[in-house]
Amino acid sequence: MLFSSMTFIYMFLPLVCTVYLLARKELKNYILLIASIIFYAWGEPSYLAIMILTILVNYIGANYISRSHNKTHRKWLLALTILANLSVLFYFKYFNFMVENVNALFHADINFIKVIMPIGISFYTFQALSYVVDVYRGDTPAQRDIYKLALYICLFPQLIAGPIVKYHDVAEQIENRNVTFEKVSYGIKRFIIGLSKKMLIANTLGAVADKIFSQPVEQFDCFTAWIGAVAYSFQLFYDFSGYSDMAIGLGSIFGFKFLENFNYPYISRSITEFWRRWHISLSTWFKEYLYIPLGGNRVAKWRNYLNLFIVFLATGFWHGAAWNFIFWGLWHGMFIIFEKATGWHKKEGRFIGLLQHIYCILAFVIGWVMFRADTMSYAWQYIKNMFGLIKTHEVVYLLPYYVDNIEIIAFCAAFLCAMPIFGRILQIPYKYKVCRTLVNIWLIVLFVVSTSFIAASTYNPFIYFRF
């Protein structure tokens, strides 16, 4: 089930909220767990088994680790549990990619497996890993109640697209949390903002990007190529951050407080800063569970660069089993290492600040082209087109085909909202009643308009019939 679907918003959510908010405190976790299982099983019930397996493996693994006093024993148990988690992830996400490359490299003929990747597997596997490692490190006790661990792993607000909630951040909240009116009200507002980001900005600009990226690169000019790249950059940000907002909002309705996942990444002056602001839950996960265990920056320079290289290779790989994701990860890793080596991003001054902005925007926009393109060769051609390096153009569709007034409005909204102008819109003090009222009315309007966009996607006329 998707957050931006009629069934979720207008069937699942009201029913779950009503039952949850009216239920006694001791029942709330069970209600959320049942809701989460229904939510997950909705689209593909068969993959529920994999999630249950993940829960069992981590429950048993973590409990054995916590009970064992033998260091080697604990290490082996940890390695075994991690291996089990990663094996499942590898099988569903990376196996066919590996087969494809082995076949290509060695002219082998290994058969592909017929498998569809279970939705959200990358997210919940990383959450499960965070739990086992936290228990191993002694940061948190092992969860004795399997239902509570199950709730942590499959809690529906962040199950499908994050944020990746680390166990030590929510362990206490699973045990004991309060649902207050303030949290519910804040959660609803945050949910509406996320939904609007997704439906009104991301989907509108996504359609622009889709139209452009579906054309052969010779069929649009340099300017259109930039429009496509920028549209996709905004689409990705508003889609993902919108989803995170909805997750954080839903969490708040149910009494949880999840950490922020985005903090205006597009105002960054360096890629190092970008990764402090973009998909924070993933970057901190890699920092805590990969970069620091590898030695972090308390090692020799070359080793530090190697660690960064590994982390960004893994980041790229985590996003998808395709070479363009790997190149995208390495592309970012390259800039991080460059910044680490030169310290260029730390220099200050108005002019240099502007240069840093331009540098950073260029770096991530080009990165997103790799991320979006179906193949690396298309990405390369596209990037060449952006810089006017395609010699022969046979432009078929002109710019107005891709962009009309709604898209221009979406671009403007995307541009403005990417900056911290409206950051405190939900924290207006009670004494400013008019402002607060206007914000609330505006949010309801956004909600209704977003709903109309969702409803419009269900309009599916059988056009042919009347011809």
Examine residue 447 and tell whether it contacts another protein (CB under 8 A): yes
What's the maximum distance between 2 C-alpha atoms anywhere in the chain?
Answer: 76
How many chain residues touch another protein (CB under 8 A)?
61
User: Given the complex with another protein, which of 256 and 291 has the nearer CB atom?
Assistant: 256
Q: What residue type is assigned to position 181 of the chain?
A: F
Query: CA 134 to CA 164: how far, in whole Å?
Result: 14
Tell me how far apart the alpha carbons of residues 220 and 218 are, in angstroms, rounded to a whole number: 6
CB-CB contact of 414 with 205 (8 Å): yes
Among residues 14, 138, 295, 423, the one that binds another protein under rule CB under 8 A = 14
Instruction: Provide, rounded to whole angstroms, the least separation between the CB of residue 9 and another protein.
Output: 7
Q: Does 211 bind another protein (CB under 8 A)?
A: no
Asked if residues 142 and 63 have their Cβ atoms less than 8 Å apart, the reply is yes
69 carries an active-site annotation: no
* Token code pair at residue 212: 């452009």
Residue 460 interacts with another protein (CB under 8 A): yes or no: yes
Quick one: 6 or 99, whose CB is closer to another protein? Answer: 6
- Residue 228 tokens read as 């496509």
CB 81 within 8 Å of CB 58: yes
Pattern 379-418, binding to another protein, x per CB under 8 A? -----------------xxxxxx--xxx--x---------
CB of residue 114 to another protein, shortest distance in Å: 16
Based on CB atoms, which residue is closest to another protein, 27 or 406?
406
Q: Which residues contact 400 (CB under 8 A, 6 or more apart)?
A: none
| Residue 117 contacts another protein per CB under 8 A | no
Q: Which is nearer to another protein, 68 or 185 (CB)?
A: 185
Binding of another protein by 51 (CB under 8 A): no
Task: Based on the shown chain and the rule CB under 8 A, indicate whether residue 343 belongs to the binding site for another protein.
Answer: no
Instruction: Note whether 17 binds another protein by CB under 8 A.
Output: yes
Catalytic residue among 319, 332, 357, 393: 319
User: 133 or 443, CB closer to another protein?
Assistant: 443
DSSP 378-428: HHHHHHHHHTT--------S-HHHH--HHHHHHHHHHHHHTTTTSTTGGG-
Among 23, 309, 440, 446, binds another protein (CB under 8 A): 440
For another protein, the closer CB: 102 or 444? 444
- Kindly indicate which of the ranges 70-78, 82-90, 177-185, 297-305 contains the residues binding another protein, using the contact rule CB under 8 A: 177-185
Outline where 42-175 has alpha helix (H): 48-67, 71-89, 95-106, 121-137, 146-154, 167-175
Quick one: tokens of 151?
Answer: 């709730």
- What is the spatial distance between Cα 84 and Cα 72, in angstroms, rounded to a whole number? 18
Whether the CB-CB separation of 96 and 56 falls below 8 Å is answered with no
Residue (5 or 263) nearer to another protein, CB: 5
CB of 149 or CB of 454, closer to another protein: 454
Closest separation in Å from C-beta 459 to another protein: 5
State yes or no: residue 86 binds another protein (CB under 8 A): no
When asked if residue 462 is in the footprint of another protein (CB under 8 A), the reply is yes
Regarding 448 and contact with another protein (CB under 8 A), the answer is yes
Q: Sign of the CA dihedral 327, 328, 329, 334?
A: positive
Q: How far apart (Å, rounded) are the C-alpha atoms in residues 458 and 307? A: 47
H or E, element range at 275: helix 271-277
CB of 164 to another protein, least distance (A): 25
Among positions 1, 149, 202, 231, the unique one binding another protein when judged by CB under 8 A: 1
Among residues 27, 45, 86, 389, the one that binds another protein under rule CB under 8 A:
45
By beta-carbon proximity to another protein, the closer residue of 392 and 405 is 405
Residue 226 and residue 175 in contact, taking contact as beta carbons nearer than 8 Å: no
**Span of 115-123, 176-184, 293-301, 353-361 interacting with another protein by CB under 8 A:** 176-184
Report if residue 459 touches another protein, rule: CB under 8 A: yes
Burial 279-306 (b: 16+ CB within 10 A, else e): bbbbbbbbbbbebeeeeeeeeeeeebbe
Whole-number minimum distance, CB 51 to another protein, in Å?
15
* Residue 363 structure tokens: 């770096």
180 lies in the binding site for another protein (CB under 8 A): yes
| CA–CA separation, 97 and 66 (whole Å) | 36
Q: Write the burial class of residue 22 (CB in 10 Å: 0-12 exposed, 13-18 middle, 19+ buried).
A: exposed
Q: Answer yes or no whether residue 214 interacts with another protein by CB under 8 A.
A: no
Taking contact as CB under 8 A, which single stretch among the options 68-76, 285-293, 371-379, 441-449 is the one that binds another protein? 441-449
Residues that bind another protein (CB under 8 A): 1, 5-7, 9-11, 13-14, 17, 22, 41-46, 180-182, 184-185, 188-189, 192, 396-401, 404-406, 409, 430, 433, 436-437, 440, 443-444, 447-449, 451-456, 458-467
The residues annotated as belonging to the active site are 319
